[in-house]
Amino acid sequence: MAVWKSVKNWTYEVFDRGTPATRFDVFEPLVCLWQEKRGDRDMPSWADFDFYDFKGWHGAIAVQEVIAEPFDLRCRLWGSNLTDVFGADQTGKLYSEFGAGYTENDMAYLTELCRSGSIGMSHGHLDWLKKGRKAAAFIDLPLSDDDSSVNHLLTALAEKTIE
């Protein structure tokens, strides 16, 4: 698959776990790391990763714990770059509590990723954050402790100025 949904200036994409890392542009190194940790399993576990695996990405990483019923995500790690972009540290908060800028489309997209165990990428303008001529992209990588159900999402942010 590719485009799952496009709304205003934001696009959500969903990919098979076997999609080549080169398809993910700036996120290629993270997808390669995820694939390496995955090995011959469907998904790696959060426990497979080490702090040093994310060199150069530390401030741009978020880790969300999946809550099954009712579906939600609890932010367990929220990097400083994400805090700068969103204006708040979301560590410990539920996605449903994030407020401004977080939409039903985001929740539907994240629900799909957790249901299917797919890789997700979303991108577009940050005009809703009043960030001027800024755009951002996010990669969402599924993690599983039992290689069956997604119990964490590993997310990373990449920002750019719109020419």
pTM (two decimals): 0.92
What's residue 88's pLDDT?
A: 86
Alpha carbon distance 91, 64 (integer Å): 9
Q: Which helix (H) or strand (E) holds 33?
A: helix 28-38
Does the residue 82 lie in any domain? yes
Angular region, 6: left φ>0, alpha ψ -120 to 50, beta rest: beta
What's residue 104's pLDDT?
A: 85
CA–CA distances in Å: residue 21 to residues 25, 94, 100, 119, 141: 8, 29, 32, 11, 12
Does the residue 68 lie in any domain? yes
CB atoms within 10 A of CB 99: 10
Residues in the chain with pLDDT values less than 50: none
Does the residue 114 lie in any domain? yes
Query: Dihedrals φ, ψ of 26, to 5°?
Result: -60, -25
Does the residue 86 lie in any domain? yes
What's residue 68's pLDDT?
A: 85
Given a contact cutoff of 8 angstroms between Cβ atoms, the answer to whether 105 and 112 are in contact is no
What's residue 50's pLDDT?
A: 95
What's residue 163's pLDDT?
A: 54
Does the residue 54 lie in any domain? no
What's residue 1's pLDDT?
A: 56
Does the residue 53 lie in any domain? no
What's residue 129's pLDDT?
A: 67
Instruction: Give the chain's domain count.
Output: 1
Q: What is the CATH number for 98?
A: 3.30.450.20
What's residue 33's pLDDT?
A: 97
* Strand 61-67 with 134-143, pairing: unpaired
Does the residue 52 lie in any domain? no
What's residue 100's pLDDT?
A: 61
Q: Which domain holds residue 120?
A: 3-47+60-161
Query: Is 161 exposed, middle or buried, given 0-12, 13-18 or 19+ CB atoms closer than 10 A?
Result: exposed
Distance of CA 60 to the CA centre of its chain: 10
